[in-house]
Amino acid sequence: MKETIQQEKKIKEEEILIIEDDPDIASLIARELHKFHYSVRIATDGQKGAAEVRQQPPDLIILDLMLPELDGWQVCRLIKADPNTKAIPILILTALGEEADRVRGLELGADDYLVKPFSLKELMARVRALLRRAHIPMENRDPAYLQVGRITIDVECHEVRLGGRLLSLTPTEFALLKYLAHHPGKVFTRDQLISALWGEDRFIEEHNLDVHIHSLRQQLESDPARPRYLLTLRGVGYKLQIPEGEQ
- Specify the pLDDT at position 143: 60
Nearest-angstrom CA–CA distance, 154 and 144: 6
Is residue 101 scored above 80 in pLDDT?
A: yes
Q: Are 54 and 86 spatial neighbours (Cβ–Cβ below 8 Å)?
A: no
pLDDT in tens, 49-95: 999 999 999 999 999 999 999 999 999 999 998 888 988 999 999 99
Q: Are 143 and 109 spatial neighbours (Cβ–Cβ below 8 Å)?
A: no
Nearest-angstrom CA–CA distance, 18 and 63: 6
Any bridge partners for residue 166, and if so which? 161
Average of pLDDT values for 104-126?
87
**Range with the poorest average pLDDT among 8-17, 50-59, 69-78, 106-115:** 8-17
- Specify the pLDDT at position 155: 78
**What are the start-end ranges of the H helices in the chain?**
2-13, 23-35, 46-55, 72-81, 99-107, 120-134, 171-181, 190-198, 206-220
Q: How many CB atoms lie within 10 A of CB 13?
A: 12
Is residue 206 scored above 80 in pLDDT?
A: no
pLDDT in tens, 123-173: 998 898 888 777 655 444 456 678 888 888 887 777 888 887 888 888 888
pTM: 0.59
- In the chain, the amino acid numbered 237 is G
Q: Which residue has the higher pLDDT, 107 or 64?
A: 64
